[in-house]
Amino acid sequence: MDVMPAAPPARLALLYGTVREHSRRLAAPLSDADATVQSMPDASPAKWHLAHTTWFFETMVLRPNWPGYAVFDESFNFLFNSYYETLGARQPRPRRGMMTRPSLEQVMAYRAHVDRGMAEMLRGELPQPVRELVELGCHHEQQHQELLLTDILHLFAQSPLHPAYAAPAPAPAPALAEAAAAPREVQFRAFDGGIVEIGHAGDGFGFDCEGPRHRALTEPFRLADRLVTNGEWMQFVADGGYRDPLLWLSAGWAAVQAQGWDSPLYWQQRDGVWHGMTLHGLVPLRPEAPVTHVSYFEADAFASWAGKRLPSEAEWEHAASGLAPEASPALQPRPAPDAPGLRQMFGEVWQWTRSPFTPYPRFRPAAGAVGEYNGKFMCGQFVLRGSSCATPEGHTRPSYRNFFPPDARWQFSGLRLAEDA
């Protein structure tokens, strides 16, 4: 559940409509086949994302709180439940791509049916707990909007045609392109040690795992003013970074050996030139752009190679406090702008930290099924901070705690270096 009071009714109805429309637009370029196939067990079909987020509103909000609501299809509770054990059995995650039916058209009809029920419900006065559930559902759908894009990218990367999900971004003006090709040397900004406060506070939504706000002790540290770039990662590859076990955590080196990693996910060489698969298709890598699609293990190994380390999440949030989140509408990481201070904290790639995803002091999961949302995953995951070029607008804040297993690479994940002062 959110850790702040829910949005007022008028703003909540606007939020719901805006979020649901954005999902529809994201699905518009996809065929039924595009939306059905599952490229790996960790990814889900786009059709499933569209239906699961709708199932959340039907199951969590409408069914228990709106008398007279007619369930669209009882079988959908099995098909589109994700991991809520208290709500019954479900289609196994690795086999979501086997569901050729319902079709994408039927899933969109399901969305329209639930939207009509929600529109009627949101016209009336709702108790605070119900408004909180609706707001949680909207932010839950925004999470799945980003997952839909990352999963489609992984799917399209398996095709020998390397299809593009979206049209290429406009080429920068020649002067801007020339300046971006030679970003200034990375600088490290110093921060004093001491007791800092982290965690969600103030107005606005925050997931339960972002709180309670609490004190954390940091030693003096320095944080890089920009993200690690493709060009710097190319140097790591050329220097044998993927072949030196002394750089890697034990589990990371085991992953390198077992999975044959020798570069970030989606990298491939063509005629001696590095290319990368993007939402715009297979394109030559820009050396000045932030490296993306690297795991925690790879980020940690690179930091060791560079003589640095990854920041803790407390260090990252303390450094980001007061910064305005930015968005990257081009759906691809951009070069670092030539500006003073910390750059690229938001809107480019999620940034791995060295912190495991564990509960904050005084954290308690919410009662009921929504208590399964975050708390049950606080084991074996690492925290990423910031946001990516695929993160929806309005879904970014300094306290946001994203988390994935340390070998996950298909998300828009990169890194920023830190060092002890």
| Range with lowest mean pLDDT among 149-153, 179-183, 379-383, 389-393 | 179-183
| Range with lowest mean pLDDT among 33-42, 44-53, 164-173, 307-316 | 164-173
| Range with lowest mean pLDDT among 96-100, 204-208, 274-278 | 204-208
Amino acid at 87: L
> Average pLDDT for residues 382-404, to the nearest whole number?
96
pTM greater than 0.75:
yes
| Range with lowest mean pLDDT among 46-50, 327-331, 368-372, 381-385 | 327-331
Residue 357 pLDDT exceeds 50: yes
Q: What are phi and psi of 267, to 5 degrees?
A: -80, 140
